[in-house]
Chains A and B, each alone.
Chain A
Amino acid sequence: MTTESCNSTPDYTIACRMNHEAAALERLCQVVRIRGFRIAKMAVETQDGVLDIALTVQGTRPVTMLQSQLEKLHTVEEVILTTPVLAPATSRTA
């Protein structure tokens, strides 16, 4: 179920796994911003050259659009919408 933030902008939680290369997190954050979302919460863990990122984002656009744009990033291995959303969550292995 989609949760609602205090200003009525929907929140979505996303789990993202990507290679820990130069500018990896900047790349991720930039896509989130340019595709119309704001990062409300972010937790990052690093293990064996891989970043596991838990993101909470807010935005009024379809979050599946953000998911597909994140999946396009070359170093992203997987993007999972952990908050159920309008469209079914999917994942992709790079």
Chain B
Amino acid sequence: MNGAQHILEAFHRHNIQTVFGYPGGCIMPLYDALVDDVSVEHVLCRHEQGCALAADGYARASGRLGVCIATSGPGATNLITGVANAHRDSTPMLVITGQVPSSLIGTDAFQETDVLGMTLGIVKHSYLAESADELPSILEEAIELAQSGRPGPVWIDIPKDVLLAEAAVAPTCRPTPKEAACPDLTSATALLRAARKPLLYSGGGISLAHAEKSFRDFAESSGLPAVVSLKGIGNPGKHSAHNLGMLGMHGSRAANRAVDECDLLLVIGARLDDRATGKLEGFAPNARLIHIDADAAEMNKLLSTELTIRGDLNTVLRELTQVLRETPLEISEWRKQCQTWRTTGGFQAADNEEPLTPITGPAFIRQLSRIAPDDTTIACDVGQHQMWIAQYYQFDHPRHHLTSGGLGTMGFGLPAAIGAQFARPDSTVLNVTGDGSFMMNAQELATIRRYNLPVKLIIMDNQCLGMVRQQQELFYNNRECQINLDDNPDFVAMARAFDIPALKIERTDQVRRGIETILAYHGPMLLHVAIAREENVWPIVKPGGSNREMIDETRRNSADKKEKVA
């Protein structure tokens, strides 16, 4: 068995059935081995970035390992954005690249790049396989490492001669998973009981730990008012009475107000990202912090914390649930207060009922949320539409919301939706994108067509880079620069060129029928939604500002008026 066959053997051993890749010179021995393999489905994307982001989407939607493959040189460098994206959002991923033969490394050979060196900062770990004999153990370790603790991408760079070399079949013993011991929660419980206004703040760590159910049980049985980060959307479920929504720059007033007023913040599986906290000095000013996470390096990284607990979130949440079930918290006044804020400071997009008026982003997303089936997965891109999805779509599970949180990768959505559809072939998968983001990986329409994936594409087209335009308007004296996209291609014609049916809507009375049409269609379909160029995402906190200083449309308008009066 040669090195390439060992890779497939590792895939079989770990039940890896779907991989995303693109062939080329130095990785050809692996593709040669794939010819004789019937159990691994190789998905050919049209760009290596598409491969990496599709593997990321597959992993997020399924909770399993995403795998991407590329050749050396440009193949590897094209993967980088996708791998960085996975790194920032802690997606479990295995990356395999071919490398020039060992004897040519360092000679500036054709398609040689120092992949190991240039990717050190975007991987959980990486390997250069120096011999076929060590490849099986590297593969075992890499697959385990990518998925354990705080997950992340692990990259194996393999010279072509190593892929071709014969290696003994070494028996690999897989370690038996140990039941994680629960850390001592006495102090955490005492702090919770002493608090009058405790608040639960959860993030993407919940689904990374496969702790969705434990979290839901804890949130419901504790009755703690709850806020979520962008990656935590869906944790409390769409029917939770205690959920105040997303906090932070584009968060709900209710969530930011509760953080501002709480006297204890219980942070679980979140890393206190700057988009969530705003200016740190103004964040949760009255609160003691308890931080529970799988990654010790996140503790006290940005904010000093009263109590840190590192451990398996499932174990910790189950134990906390048990403790609070025995003696519930007495916080009815605080719950009542949060309920009031929830009613008055949540997201209430006005449904734009005037039939001939232009479509507004929030109203469209609310309508989509009402019509789409419960198990719909949405892979969005980056920009205004991403925030409208976060604000107005009601997600019932965190794995239904695929968003590039840490890296903010425009072009994530389309390949991520492809990965998600492979992970959940029987579910509805939507890519909701903007006109800017869509064009970043539009070549993957060919992948959708090739595999006849029933992915539905929704382009919210405002003919510009809306989020940049919005910030230029609000924070740069309306000096617009390089955001104009009014020469976009005809997206309907473009989709049809890939043999994907498409339709365009531009008025409110067309929304329902447009959404219902694409959802009912048996294959892939594109809906081009024209929206107003000037529309903004509200509320917004100025980058670097405090979450207390949320700007909404009313305040913006009154500020304008004041300026005009002056």
Chain A contact residues, CB within 8 Å of chain B: 21-23, 26-27, 30, 34, 62, 64-65, 68-69, 71-75
For A64, the chain B residues whose CB sits under 8 A away are: 300
Chain B contact residues, CB within 8 Å of chain A: 116-117, 120-121, 124-128, 130, 145, 295-297, 299-301
Assuming the contacts A74-B124, A74-B125, A74-B145, asked whether A26 and B300 have C-beta atoms less than 8 A apart, the reply is: no
Whether the pair B121, A34 counts as a contact (CB closer than 8 A) is yes
- How distant is A93 from chain B, measured CB to nearest CB, in Å? 14
Whether the pair A23, B121 counts as a contact (CB closer than 8 A) is no
- How distant is B94 from chain A, measured CB to nearest CB, in Å? 14
For B145, the chain A residues whose CB sits under 8 A away are: 74
Assuming the contacts A23-B116, A30-B121, A74-B145, asked whether A68 and B128 have C-beta atoms less than 8 A apart, the reply is: no
For A34, the chain B residues whose CB sits under 8 A away are: 121
Whether the pair A65, B301 counts as a contact (CB closer than 8 A) is yes
For A22, the chain B residues whose CB sits under 8 A away are: 116, 127-128, 130
- How distant is B311 from chain A, measured CB to nearest CB, in Å? 15
- How distant is B238 from chain A, measured CB to nearest CB, in Å? 35
Given contacts A22-B127, A68-B296, 6 further A-B contacts (CB under 8 A): A22-B116, A22-B128, A22-B130, A23-B120, A64-B300, A68-B301
- How distant is A94 from chain B, measured CB to nearest CB, in Å? 12
For B125, the chain A residues whose CB sits under 8 A away are: 73-75
For B296, the chain A residues whose CB sits under 8 A away are: 68, 71-72
For A68, the chain B residues whose CB sits under 8 A away are: 296-297, 299, 301
Most chain B CB within a 10 A radius of its CB, from A21, A62, A69, A71: A21
Q: How long is the Cα–Cα vector from A71 to B296 in the complex, in angstroms? A: 9
For B297, the chain A residues whose CB sits under 8 A away are: 65, 68-69, 71-72
Q: How long is the Cα–Cα vector from A71 to B211 in the complex, in angstroms? A: 25
- How distant is B395 from chain A, measured CB to nearest CB, in Å? 30
- How distant is A88 from chain B, measured CB to nearest CB, in Å? 13
Assuming the contacts A22-B130, A72-B295, A74-B125, asked whether A27 and B120 have C-beta atoms less than 8 A apart, the reply is: yes
11 pairs across A/B with beta carbons < 8 Å? A22-B128, A23-B116, A26-B120, A30-B121, A34-B121, A65-B297, A65-B300, A65-B301, A68-B296, A69-B297, A71-B297
Assuming the contacts A65-B300, A74-B124, A74-B125, asked whether A23 and B295 have C-beta atoms less than 8 A apart, the reply is: no
Most chain A CB within a 10 A radius of its CB, from B116, B120, B130: B120
Q: How long is the Cα–Cα vector from A72 to B127 in the complex, in angstroms? A: 16
Q: How long is the Cα–Cα vector from A27 to B391 in the complex, in angstroms? A: 39
Q: How long is the Cα–Cα vector from A67 to B411 in the complex, in angstroms? A: 35
- How distant is B272 from chain A, measured CB to nearest CB, in Å? 13
Residue of B nearest to A72 (CB): B297
Residue of A nearest to B114 (CB): A23
Picked from A23, A27, A69, A72, the residue with its CB within 8 Å of the CB of B128 is A23
